[in-house]
């Protein structure tokens, strides 16, 4: 039978170079903590168990991973990566295979990890990278047979070893019993006085335990982040990977470097996305959807043919047919737009259904409303839905015309085919098919003079 796979994720690092009160592994890439990316990749490998080594003082790490089924191992003292792995080993059986990952490497690909898992070696294996500039990385030292004789950290390497361009990614795969045997012999006689996990390879050589290395095809995907400069580089790489995936699926991007996908985005054919657009959460775009520049979409479902014009912000809304939104529109949670409907510039909509071919073209607020088909909402219209304690609903039936600068004091219903005169304030229901208006009579005061400023 195949060995059960146990994955250890190292997440106890303080990340002092981030200069942040937030633990390093909770710094975000693509809108999510780095550790969540790594956990998602780990779960794709279908492990028997995932073990996360964390600093018990950083309770935020456990809180951020509450949705995952994790065995937590505490590393109270920061004594190096070898020491960190030792904290998780007591809960791993000898017949297991162990994969060690790092919580600050969010760009990992499960296919590359699977190559490491499948590589023929029943001892210790390491995922390596070939770099033009290997500065800062541990060098892979191989013996004549090509096995890994040791991994030498930059600060401990000789001038000749520093010329080696194959470097350590930190990711290792091992037979649990072999790894446990090597961990028992770790020493801290190095420049940092720490227990390096990398030393298990030289120990394995002395114990005649087989070792091997697998070279990763894309070194950029194995990068971690120790400061905000490196974090920004990860963000850029993540952005490009998401953009490339979208373009391969037929999406046209005005500039792949200026689209941020911070979550999941599913898009149909002939979708166009302009520059500086941000997608958060789970978004779905139907065929032919167009997104203008500077828009922000969060958890939206847009039907085929929907157009979102520049600088609009949409959240938890959906369209059921081709419609127009924006520019400068804010569409808030609970909004549903039917085919042919329009929410125009400087219109805010919340918890409202907008029927077919109904339009609010500019400068209005529509909250907690049910709007029928073929309704025209004039500029400056407000549904006054909140009385200071409770929310109330406004119902506008089919074929209604609402004049400009109208206030609808909810709860109120405007019957089908009604017309509401501009400048009205409705406090009672408006009957169907009638003109309703509420205005003070216009009066001109004879002999009136404009006040003058005091001359003193």
Q: Kindly report, residue by residue over 325-380, the tens digit of the pLDDT.
A: 999 999 999 999 999 999 999 999 999 999 999 999 999 999 999 999 999 999 99
Residue spans of the domains in the chain: they are 5-222, 250-436
pLDDT of residue 382: 97
pLDDT of residue 145: 86
CATH 3.90.550.10 at 5-222, yes or no: yes
With a cut of 70, list the residues of the chain below it in pLDDT. Answer: 1-2, 456
Question: Rounded to the nearest 5 degrees, what angle is found at the Cα of 445, between the Cα atoms of 440 and 451?
Answer: 110
pLDDT of residue 352: 98
Spatial contact of 162 and 140, defined as CB atoms under 8 Å apart: no
Which one of 51, 83, 309, 362 is the catalytic residue? 362
HEC per residue, 169-232? EEEEEEEHHHHHHHHCCCCCCCCCCCCCHHHHHHHHHHCCCCEEEEECCCHHHHCCCCCHHHHH
Place domain 250-436 in its CATH homologous superfamily.
Hexapeptide repeat proteins (2.160.10.10)
pLDDT of residue 194: 86
Spatial contact of 364 and 343, defined as CB atoms under 8 Å apart: no
Q: Say which residue the tokens 């229901």 belong to.
A: 429
Question: Rounded to the nearest 5 degrees, what angle is found at the Cα of 324, between the Cα atoms of 351 and 373?
Answer: 60
DSSP code, position 112: H
pLDDT of residue 1: 39
Burial class (CB in 10 A: 0-12, 13-18, 19+), 272: middle
Residue-wise pLDDT tens digits, 233-278: 999 999 999 999 999 999 999 999 999 999 999 999 999 999 999 9
Spatial contact of 339 and 356, defined as CB atoms under 8 Å apart: yes
In DSSP notation, 297-315 reads EES-EE-TT-EE-TT-EEE
The answer to whether residue 51 is catalytic is no
pLDDT of residue 456: 66
The residues with which 224 forms a beta bridge, in sequence order, are: none
The residues with which 278 forms a beta bridge, in sequence order, are: 260, 296
d(CA 182, CA 197) in angstroms, rounded, equals 9
d(CA 113, CA 128) in angstroms, rounded, equals 11
Spatial contact of 319 and 303, defined as CB atoms under 8 Å apart: yes
Spatial contact of 102 and 223, defined as CB atoms under 8 Å apart: no
Q: What is the pTM of this model?
A: 0.88
**How far lies 224's CA from each of 32, 83, 103, 148, 243, in Å?**
15, 20, 9, 23, 21
pLDDT of residue 2: 60
d(CA 309, CA 291) in angstroms, rounded, equals 6
């Amino acid at each position: 039978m195949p060995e059960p796979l146990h994955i250890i994720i190292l997440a106890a690092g303080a990340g002092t170079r981030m200069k942040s009160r937030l633990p390093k592994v909770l710094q975000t890439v693509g809108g999510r903590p780095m550790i969540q990316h790594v956990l998602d990749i780990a779960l794709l490998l279908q492990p028997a168990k995932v073990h996360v080594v964390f600093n018990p003082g950083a309770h935020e790490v456990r809180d951020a991973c509450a949705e995952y089924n994790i065995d937590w191992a505490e590393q109270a003292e920061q004594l190096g990566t070898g020491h960190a792995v030792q904290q998780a080993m007591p809960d791993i059986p000898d017949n297991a295979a162990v994969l060690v990952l790092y919580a600050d490497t969010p760009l990992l690909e499960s296919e590359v990890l699977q190559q490491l898992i499948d590589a023929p070696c029943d001892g210790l294996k390491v995922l390596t990278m070939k770099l033009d500039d290997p500065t800062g990385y541990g060098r892979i030292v191989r013996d004549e047979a090509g096995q890994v004789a040791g991994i030498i950290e930059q600060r401990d390497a000789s001038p000749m070893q520093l010329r080696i361009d194959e470097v350590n990614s930190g990711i290792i795969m091992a037979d649990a019993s072999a790894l446990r045997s090597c961990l028992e012999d770790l020493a801290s006689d190095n420049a940092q006085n720490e227990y390096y996990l990398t030393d298990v390879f030289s120990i394995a050589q002395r114990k005649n335990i087989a070792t091997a290395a697998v070279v990763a095809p894309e070194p950029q995907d194995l990068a971690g982040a120790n400061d905000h400069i490196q974090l920004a580089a990860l963000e850029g790489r993540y952005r490009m990977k998401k953009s490339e995936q979208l373009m391969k699926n037929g999406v046209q991007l005005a500039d792949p470097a200026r689209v941020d996908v911070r979550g999941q985005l599913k898009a149909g054919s002939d979708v166009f996305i302009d520059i500086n657009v941000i997608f958060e959460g789970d978004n779905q775009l139907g065929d032919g959807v167009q997104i203008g520049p500077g828009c922000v979409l969060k958890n939206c479902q847009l039907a085929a043919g929907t157009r979102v014009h520049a600088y609009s912000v949409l959240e938890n809304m959906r369209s059921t047919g081709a419609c127009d939104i924006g520019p400068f529109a804010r569409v808030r949670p609970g909004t549903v737009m039917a085919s042919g409907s329009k929410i125009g510039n400087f219109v805010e909509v919340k918890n409202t259904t907008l029927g077919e071919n109904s339009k609010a073209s500019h400068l209005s607020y529509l909250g907690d409303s049910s709007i029928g088909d073929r309704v025209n909402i004039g500029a400056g219209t407000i549904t006054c839905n909140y009385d200071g304690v409770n929310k109330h609903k406004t119902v506008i039936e089919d074929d209604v015309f609402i004049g400009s600068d109208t206030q609808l004091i909810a709860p109120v219903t405007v019957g089908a085919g009604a017309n509401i005169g501009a400048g009205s304030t409705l406090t009672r229901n408006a009957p169907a098919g009638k003109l309703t208006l509420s205005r003070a009579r216009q009066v001109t005061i004879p002999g009136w003079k404009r006040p003058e400023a005091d001359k003193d």
